[in-house]
Every structure is written in structure tokens, then in C-alpha cells.
Chains A and B, each alone.
Chain A
Amino acid sequence: QSALTQPPSASGSPGQSVTISCTGTSSDVGAYNYVSWYQQHPGKAPKLMIYEVTKRPSGVPDRFSGSKSGNTASLTVSGLQAEDEADYYCSSFGGRNNLIFGGGTKLTVL
């Protein structure tokens, strides 16, 4: 199975909202509500931000939200803050006891 497709970059000014897409197929993203989003700052381990498409782990600000339509999932960051500048990765259960990651999106806060 191929990697999920994410835009390589996204940007927004402080206080604005930005949405990052994650496109898979009817065998992965479209088939299961098992999409997760991770934030990774340079030199650090990834951090879980969204799981099961829309759910936020404890401690993740409600500025982060997730959604899905068909084979495409999305992460929206509202009220952008400087500390949101990072790489973001989506992942999906692939249906064959495997995980598939997206290529990653570099979010820049202008």
C-alpha cells in the first residue's frame, strides 16, 4: 500500500486557521475511522494530536480538530500560535495489520 498523500507545506499567520489534508484510498482512510495525526518538532519524537479521526488526547488544545470525508481526512489548527510550527503526519490503519503514514506537512506560522 502506498503512503497517504499530504501537501508538503502549509502556512498561516498567528490567529488564523489552517487545514492539512490527508488522502488515502477506500482500503485505508475511507474504510476505517482509524486516522491519527501527529505533531513533530525538529529533533523530537512525534506526539499524538488526534486519534480515531476526531478525538483529542488529554492535554491537546481544542484548537486542533480532525475530520474525514470519503478517502480524505483533515486536520484543522485554529487560532494558530507560534508553537504550532512543526511537521504534521497523518496515519491510517491499512486493513492488513499495518499502519500507513502520510509523507508529512511542514506547517509554518508566518
Chain B
Amino acid sequence: EVQLLESGGGLVQPGGSLRLSCAASGFTFSSYGLSWTRQAPGKGLEWVSLIYGDTGGTYYADSVRGRFTISRDTSKNMLYLHMNSLRADDTAVYYCARFGSGYSLDQWGQGTLVTVSS
């Protein structure tokens, strides 16, 4: 069974940093692309970042480029999102998800809440 389990969310002050983690199991980790998607309270989904399984290439939404860094540890089956210079509008539930066919996100974690507030 595929499982994705996020952790690391919490309350952080504006300008602060946080690292989110996503523990993956039940599939060949290095063979799949992975993504972070967020959802602000009461709002819709917003794609944040992706890392390709084969090349490890990384890409970001304009809203986080230069502040967030996606990475993975294939030896531990872990996905990370390093978030710097956090702003109030980064407040959201952050989901990690696995890429399936056709840039679909076929498996999702349960999400972790990040709150940026003083």
C-alpha cells in the first residue's frame, strides 16, 4: 500500500524558516516524481514544487521560487520542502503527492499545517 506521511508543520514567525518532511512507502521511491501542493484555509489547491523521479530535476511555482527548496533522500525514501523567508500568505496545509500518469497526482498524504504569524 502506498503511503505518504507529512510532518514538520507548525507556527513560525514571518521571515522564519521551516522544513517539511514526507515519508514515503509502498512504492519504488526513486522511480516517481513527487510534488508539494498547498491549500490556504478555505481556499483552493496551489501547486508549489516538483521533483522528477528519473532526473531529480526541480521546479517551483513563481510564488515560492527563490524561497523554497524541494529535495529528496532516496536512501531514506524521504521528500523535503525547505521553506525560507516565510510570509503570512504561505499559511496553508501542505500536501506531498506522487506523480502518476500524465502529470496527475495519484497518491496524496494527509497534509501538514503551516501557520505563519507573529
Residues of A with Cβ closer than 8 Å to B? 3, 32-34, 36, 38, 40, 45-48, 51-52, 55, 57, 89, 91-93, 96-104
Interface size class of B (residues with CB under 8 A): 20 to 34
Asked if A38 and B45 sit within 8 Å, CB to CB, the answer is yes
Asked if B108 and A45 sit within 8 Å, CB to CB, the answer is yes
Residues of B within 8 A of A52 (CB): 101-102, 104
Q: Does B46 interact with chain A (Cβ within 8 Å)?
A: yes
Asked if B106 and A51 sit within 8 Å, CB to CB, the answer is yes
Asked if B44 and A55 sit within 8 Å, CB to CB, the answer is no
Residues of A within 8 A of B50 (CB): 97-99
Minimum distance in angstroms from B82 CB to a CB of chain A:
19
Complex CA gap A103/B39 in Å reads 11
Asked if A46 and B102 sit within 8 Å, CB to CB, the answer is no
The answer to whether A91 and B101 touch (CB under 8 A), given A45-B110, A45-B111, is: no
9 A-B pairs within 8 Å (CB atoms) are namely: A38-B45, A47-B108, A51-B100, A89-B45, A98-B50, A99-B37, A99-B103, A101-B44, A101-B45
Asked if A99 and B47 sit within 8 Å, CB to CB, the answer is yes
Asked if B110 and A33 sit within 8 Å, CB to CB, the answer is no
Residues of A within 8 A of B66 (CB): none
Complex CA gap A102/B101 in Å reads 19
Asked if A36 and B105 sit within 8 Å, CB to CB, the answer is yes
Residues of B within 8 A of A36 (CB): 102-105
Minimum distance in angstroms from B44 CB to a CB of chain A:
4
Asked if A48 and B100 sit within 8 Å, CB to CB, the answer is yes
Asked if B103 and A57 sit within 8 Å, CB to CB, the answer is no
Residues of A within 8 A of B110 (CB): 45
Residues of A within 8 A of B104 (CB): 34, 36, 48, 51-52, 91
Q: Which 10 A-B pairs have the closest CB atoms?
A: A51-B104, A52-B102, A99-B47, A97-B59, A36-B104, A45-B108, A104-B44, A93-B103, A101-B45, A34-B103
> Which chain A residue shows the least CB distance to B44?
A104
Which single member of A3, A33, A100 contacts B102 (CB below 8 Å)? A33
